Amino acid sequence: MSATIVHTADLEQRERHADCMERIAADESREAFAELFAFFAPRLKAYMLRLGAAEPEAEELTQDVMMTVWRKAGMYDRRQASVSTWIFRVARNRRIDVQRRTSKPPLEPDEPMLRPAEAEQPDSAVFRMQMEEQVRAQLATLPDEQLALLRAAFYDGLSHSEIARSHGLPLGTVKSRIRLALARLRGGLDDPE
């Protein structure tokens, strides 16, 4: 067989597959789908097996890809790619999706992060509220320039460098004012009233 004959046969087959896709999209042609299924299903399964899928997974992925061909045939554009390229791209993407889903470790039921927070005990709640009041009272005693820098650092989450830039201050001044404000807060909270 000459290369020209093989090449012509390949082109004819490509055109026939593209025609099948268009018939599926336009008329939901079962005959066209059966033809594509008979041709591509064994090749898809072999492809999935080469990618490392187990036999049952390869069969399931093949079925899934072919169902996508049935449902989304209208998305195929023969000017963009051959049917083979389009179908195998769908298959590759589907395999990647499955690998991503299965590569996540299963959740452990005893995982501490999955447990709801325990209800706060009444004495703890009272202590927390008293502490919050004290902190608010001490914050009110700070000079405005120290309070503004503390808010930027702890409420806005800015770094010292970012605070210096946003407030137009030298970095050393920002660090000093924050340090003084924290010392003043600590002193006020440690002193019993």
Q: Please report the pLDDT score of residue 9 as a whole number.
A: 72
Instruction: Give the count of domains, the chain.
Output: 2
The answer, yes or no, to whether residue 193 has pLDDT greater than 60, is: no
Give the CATH number for residue 75: 1.10.1740.10
Residue 82 lies in a domain: yes
Domain final residue pick, 103, 131, 164: 103
Q: Please report the pLDDT score of residue 116 as a whole number.
A: 75
Instruction: Give the pLDDT band of residue 110 (cuts 50, 70, 90).
Output: confident
Residues 137 and 98 in one domain: no
CA distances 191 to 121, 130, 134, 187, Å, are 26, 14, 11, 6
141: containing domain: 122-190
Note whether 73 and 21 are within 8 A (CB): yes
Instruction: Give the pLDDT band of residue 178 (cuts 50, 70, 90).
Output: very high
Rounded average pLDDT over 128-143:
87
What predicted TM-score, i.e. pTM, was given to this entire model?
0.51
